[in-house]
Amino acid sequence: MSYYIYGTELNDPVIKDLIKKSVELTLTTDSEDLKEQLARAKYPEYLSPTNPDEEGKYKAIKNPDAAKNDRGHLGDPSFSNLFPKDAKFKKFDLSPNFGTEIDGIQLSELDDAGKNDLALFLETRGLAIFRNQDLRDKGPKFSKEFGNYFGPLHVHPISLAAKDYPELFVTYRKAGDGTRHAKEYAQTNTQSAWHSDISFEEYPSSFSFFVALEAPESGGDTVFLDTREAYRRLSPTFQKFFEGLTLIHSNYYQNLGAKLRNSVAKVKADYFTEHPLVRTHPVTGEKGLFFSRGFVQRVKGVKPAESAAILNFLHEHVLNNPEIQVRAAHRGTDSGTVIAWDNRILLHTAATDFLQHETGPRHHYRITVVGEKPYYDENQEVKVEVGGKL
């Protein structure tokens, strides 16, 4: 059985034509509809057209010292600076192994020690959902500076961005009613696309902070899975086999889709990047399966049929196990939700489960920190227990 590479349907002339005709379903950087959306947006400063002059303006970011400079190395294993004894907050774990929801800790007020703890917390728990945050109200400049503490920030090649802040990746889905459902599922049964952010880059993302500006009260969640547990559940024989494999990640079809939607390419490059399938975390030493499904195209150095067999197994093993998944709910505009995670140990996908209903827009921005070049080190010590205890 062949392996389906996301985006290959764009080679079909019929699909290409349908996409060109359906551009009105989503917002693009040259859309006439953008002015109207800006006029009604609750946070218009986080919704800006890409200037045609930005075509090819930016280059990929390299971060060769990321592993040793990771802020998690400076974090307190007790997280005393993130969760001070005198602070009034609530938190509960979404599962015993990863993911925690937190209310009462304000990200914008963390000092450097608190941010170091936050880095280590994300590196051990993987995912944190912070409620009632004011990060969005501080303005784009503040968010950029907040993200820069953890490392250089990525400029997405083809996305919308905040006005004058290309480092703030913006997702925007217009308000609509139940007629969207039939249109958007006319040629597909699902819009889920599991991935680790920007895995096609030589230096992919370490941390992502996804800030809700406007969101449906129910639905539109982000679903996460733990690639560490996916690795742990393999037999020792399969673990050893996978530790020797390299996968090719690419944004080729992402770029092709953007061209069909008339998006401006701020970075004009099709990457075909090699990353180890089994990845070692630079702070915790844990290993995980770096199977960024949305961008993985093939296994390096094997025959096509062998590559397909390996990738199809990974698809089934990694993506289709609810025991290693949790759901992060955005809970509407008033919740002030910020979802933060470590892309080195988690995959995620959006859930478009609200299209049958009338809703307002789904508007977010993402702060995307550029991390280390993925590597595998069989001798690196594992410093964390299952469940995030050091």
Distance between CA atoms of residues 58 and 265, nearest Å: 9
- Establish if 314 belongs to a structural domain: yes
Segments in the chain below pLDDT 50: 25
Query: What is the pLDDT at residue 154?
Result: 98
Question: Which pLDDT value is given to residue 26?
Answer: 54
Cβ atoms within 10 Å, residue 106: 15
The count of structural domains within the chain is 1
Specify the pLDDT at position 22: 62
Residue 377 within any structural domain of the chain: no
The DSSP element (H or E) to which 298 belongs, if any, is: strand 296-299
Q: Which two tokens stand for residue 70?
A: 């990771």
Question: Quick check: is 203 in a domain?
Answer: yes
What pLDDT shows up at residue 270? 94
Q: Is residue 389 part of a domain?
A: no
Q: Specify the pLDDT at position 16.
A: 78
Yes or no: say if 197 and 205 are a contact pair by the CB < 8 Å rule: yes
Q: State whether residue 90 is helix, strand or coil.
A: strand
CATH of the domain at 255: 3.60.130.10
Residue 382 to residue 106: CA distance in whole angstroms: 31
Residue 382 lies in a domain: no
Domain that holds residue 261: 8-370
pTM: 0.96
Residue 31 confidence (pLDDT): 61
Residues facing residue 299 across a β-bridge: 247
Q: Is 37 among the domain residues?
A: yes
Q: Identify whether 60 is part of a domain.
A: yes
139 forms beta bridges with: none
Quote the CA–CA distance of 90 and 315 in Å, as a whole number.
Answer: 36
- Give the pLDDT score at 274: 98
302 within some domain: yes
Q: Round to whole Å and give the CA distance between 165 and 58.
A: 13
β-pairing, 246-250 vs 278-280, is: unpaired
Q: At what angle do helices 13-21 and 252-260 cross, to 10 degrees?
A: 50
